[in-house]
A = this chain, B = another copy of it.
């Protein structure tokens, strides 16, 4: 966009201008690729997948490919220090389960998702499309994506 220079009438406070600029940032521009795992996978497989993909959360999908749950590093660490064998625990037992999962859409604003992450006290939410009775996972929005969006705002010239 061409920057406006010098005197300009806004009819707005500078705060409102700031607000407007921030609300132009949408999920579609900042989301990451989602890493998914099957409900039947073990907790051990999930940990390996997290390290291989270098992510802090996995989205668990059912046999139809629809969102069934979310698995965090915290969920896995809790299981790892417990007495159960990580190879014997399916992820479906330790994940956060639908419908108790916060999610967002590609056209949501980044600031609304940031607010959601803080309110729900989670590190990431899936970006979803409605599909039949459920949700297809099309992306991932994390505190890392929010941090990148923040840097992009502050570094603009």
Contact = CB atoms under 8 A, between A and B. Distances in A.
A80 B74 CA distance: 12
Nearest to A47: B81
Interface residues of A, number: 55
A21 B21 CA distance: 12
A33 interface: no
A18 B19 contact: no
Interface of A: 3-19, 21-23, 44, 47, 50-51, 56, 73-74, 76-78, 80-81, 86, 109-111, 114-115, 117-118, 123, 142-144, 146-151, 153-157
26 contacts: A4-B13, A6-B11, A7-B7, A7-B9, A8-B10, A8-B14, A19-B153, A22-B150, A23-B154, A47-B77, A47-B81, A56-B74, A77-B77, A77-B80, A111-B153, A111-B154, A111-B155, A114-B151, A114-B154, A115-B154, A142-B143, A143-B144, A143-B146, A146-B146, A146-B147, A150-B150
